[in-house]
Chains A and B, each alone.
Chain A
């Protein structure tokens, strides 16, 4: 693998060996919106916010799992992409019960930030208002399914970094839920080590520290990358 040169939004840029389009963009100060991606764990390509246009490819490609290749021409910002991104965010807000003013993560929420950045100022779809549960059986943490966007960061961080695989997804379609162990209360989980990696990784207020009040839940998402670098590269840079 060697350094590659590619064009992002008309600018000629370089990318580190093995970098994805998303990493190449970040290296060069180009922001691509993401929700399911998190530095330090594998990419799922699930939220579809990071879709970009690549010349010569008929389909939009997720930047997080597409390798940057020599001579690639990438467009990260277009009227069409922005329209799709706003719609994806609208769909997320309509899917579960995201009520920012009473959320522990208000002001520190990636879903909220993406909506603001992408100009999603209203939702055209009908709110689903699903009847969802809150699990606060764990001694220190809780999960409010109302705020979960099924990004599966918790599932991946628990499996890949902690090695506990406490989290997984049950059900399918819009009935999907993240669950602990075999869908038992989190507090009764045999595998959970209470390491809090899922708490730090969660993009919204779905997984929270108990005792947090509105706007108090600040996730330290960079800790995930720190742990991954320490583990894999033996680097302890904050």
Chain B
């Protein structure tokens, strides 16, 4: 496989396209509202109407506006991506709505079905880098990804760049880990590259587990090859020959599409031995998680890949030094790896021109909660929470925003008076929350913040692995105290004890799960302390 062959595949793919392209979302969100039946009907009706000569029906990934699924997009323009702006995006398409859609294509009009306003900030404020192919490429066809420019960056890297140059490019881009902590990706790569080790591994962390988060799932379901390409480039840069994608078992569709992607990439010589006729070998295998949130923590994840109980071990040693089976290992989140190919295709300066001084690029969020437009958004770093919630999300159906929760069970709640905070690692941390992996839950005024803290504590309690005492027993006690407060049975002493516990669990737990488990409590105490105090027993306050 060389540049010419890649181009030939892309050319063939382009030529095979018909004038009209009908795309139906078959990512998990739309599938759960019956988009498979819509797709099947589309295929059948196109044949019935005898327009299959000029209409392509494609199964594509996420088209962002998940709350209005199933989404169907009709685009004329010969299957050219630059013509997409004139496309019609039908909302909530039911299997019965397919006939009018097809009739509209035949008659050259528009069906009487709700159509999404594509000039709305929900779409117009997005800055797609990670999601550039989302909803366009067909995730189960590698040709579609190659047509969209896929594997071009890998080819360029293997032919034109030394591993050192790749490291330099990624470092210069300012890309930071998208899993939550925001560690500079270039530094992490360089650590692994510089560590002497006879074998090295690259691991893609796809164990997305925060409640309300579905960014990584959407990327893997919509554009799996992008992650493979990013992994291969990372492996080349650090000197690894084997990669693992650790994906949670709750994502069967993503697993399925990844398997298809790996198989077709191998068949084309884009993964495997002597990739693109270079001396570089790289294999990827899937490892499927069995439902433990803690396995997203890198040491627990590695234990799980090795076939051991998924429990974390103290760091240091870090995976770069002592990773899988004792070898140097690079672990990056799905979204981090999905940023790699565009960075090498367009250059570090291009990437660094997006975002803020310390947080470069974009961030994908799963916008959820009490908000009109829920779905997948990719926004430049530095955008304010208000723009996301009020403009893109279109606000709360009835009532006002009370708080925005970011970072899942490790994050915190940002109150409405801080909605003008820019979304970047430092600003969110200053408010006691975290960027996190990209879950963003909007809460309205009816939300009981103590109950929110209790919910997240229950999650941490259930997901604690049980290895270290502060997390195992501390979360149980914190949950008990929060329950007591919610039930109106707590005294001021209980609240003081809860705060003591938060401090202790945060500073003494073994891994990130325990260390951050008190965050939802601490952040709600910081901004909504009166809600806790209002629930305390009155007589105890008087004494």
Contact in complex: B473, A92 (CB < 8 Å): yes
For chain A, give the interface size range.
Answer: 20 to 34
- Kindly supply a per-residue 1/0 record for chain A positions 78-93, scoring 1 wherever the CB is within 8 Å of any chain B CB and 0 otherwise: 0000011001100110
Contact of A173 with B466 in the complex, beta carbons under 8 Å: yes
B476 interface residue, CB < 8 Å from A? yes
- Establish whether residues A174 and B472, one from each chain, have CB atoms under 8 Å apart when the complex forms: yes
Q: Is the CB of B469 within 8 A of A91?
A: yes
Residue in chain B with minimal CB distance to A49:
B469
**Contact mask for chain B residues 454-480; partner A; CB cutoff 8 A; 1 contact, 0 none:** 000000011111111110111111001
Which residue in chain B gives the minimum CB-CB distance to A176? B466
CA distance A84 to B504 in the complex (A): 6
- The smallest C-beta distance from A92 to any residue of chain B, in angstroms, reads 6
Cβ < 8 Å to B, chain A residues 25-63: 44-48, 51, 59-60, 62
Whether A46 contacts B477 by the Cβ 8 Å rule is no
Inter-subunit contact B464/A91 (CB<8 Å): no
Give every chain A residue within 8 A of B504 (Cβ-Cβ).
83-84, 87-88
Among the listed stretches B11-19, B222-230, B507-515, which one makes contact with chain A, having 4 or more residues with CB under 8 Å of it? B507-515
Residues of A within 8 A of B507 (CB): 59-60, 84
Query: In the complex, which residue of chain A has the Cβ closest to the Cβ of B466?
Result: A176
Cβ of A174 and Cβ of B473 under 8 Å apart?
Answer: yes
Are A173 and B469 neighbours in the complex by a CB distance under 8 Å?
no
Cα-based distance from A149 to B497 in the complex (angstroms)? 23
Q: A-side binding surface: helix, strand, loop or mixed?
A: loop
Let me know if A169 and B466 touch, CB within 8 A.
Answer: yes
Q: A91-B473, A172-B292, A173-B475 are in contact. Are A47 and B465 (CB under 8 A)?
A: no
Q: Provided the pairs A46-B467, A48-B468 are in contact, do residues A173 and B501 lie with their beta carbons within 8 angstroms?
A: no
- A13 near B: Cβ within 8 Å? no
Interface residues of A in 114-160 (CB under 8 A from B): 124-126, 128, 149-150, 152
Residue of B314, B466, B477, B510 touching A91 (CB-CB under 8 A): B477
Check B313 for interface membership: any CB of A closer than 8 A.
Answer: yes
> Does the CB pair A126–B477 fall under 8 Å?
yes
Any B CB within 8 A of the CB of A164: no
Tell whether B500 is near chain A: CB-to-CB under 8 Å: yes
- CB contact under 8 A between A125 and B465, given known A48-B509, A87-B504, A88-B508: no
Q: Of B313, B314, B461, B470, which is within 8 A of A173 by CB?
A: B461
Give the B interface residue count (CB, 8 A): 31
Enumerate chain A residues within 8 angstroms of B314, measured Cβ to Cβ. 45, 62, 65
Convert A171-189 into 0s and 1s, putting 1 for each residue whose CB lies closer than 8 angstroms to a CB of B: 1111110000000000000
Partner of B500, one of A46, A47, A87: A87
By the criterion CB–CB under 8 Å, are A48 and B466 in contact?
A: no
A95 interfacial contact with B, CB 8 Å = yes
B309 at the interface (CB under 8 A from A): yes
In the bound complex, how far is the Cα of B507 from the Cα of A125, in angstroms? 19
A59 to chain B: closest residue by CB: B507
Q: Which of chain A's residues have a CB closer than 8 A to the CB of B480?
A: 125-126
B467 (CB) vs chain A CBs: closest residue: A46
For the complex of A and B, list the 8 residue pairs with the smallest distance between their C-beta atoms, beginning with the closest: A176-B466, A91-B473, A45-B314, A173-B464, A95-B473, A48-B508, A125-B477, A173-B466
Give A residues with C-beta under 8 Å from B: 44-48, 51, 59-60, 62, 65, 83-84, 87-88, 91-92, 94-95, 124-126, 128, 149-150, 152, 168-169, 171-176
26 A-B residue pairs with CB within 8 Å:
A44-B467, A45-B510, A46-B467, A46-B510, A48-B468, A48-B510, A59-B507, A60-B507, A84-B507, A88-B504, A88-B508, A92-B469, A94-B477, A124-B497, A125-B480, A126-B477, A128-B476, A150-B466, A168-B309, A171-B466, A172-B466, A173-B462, A173-B464, A174-B466, A174-B472, A176-B472
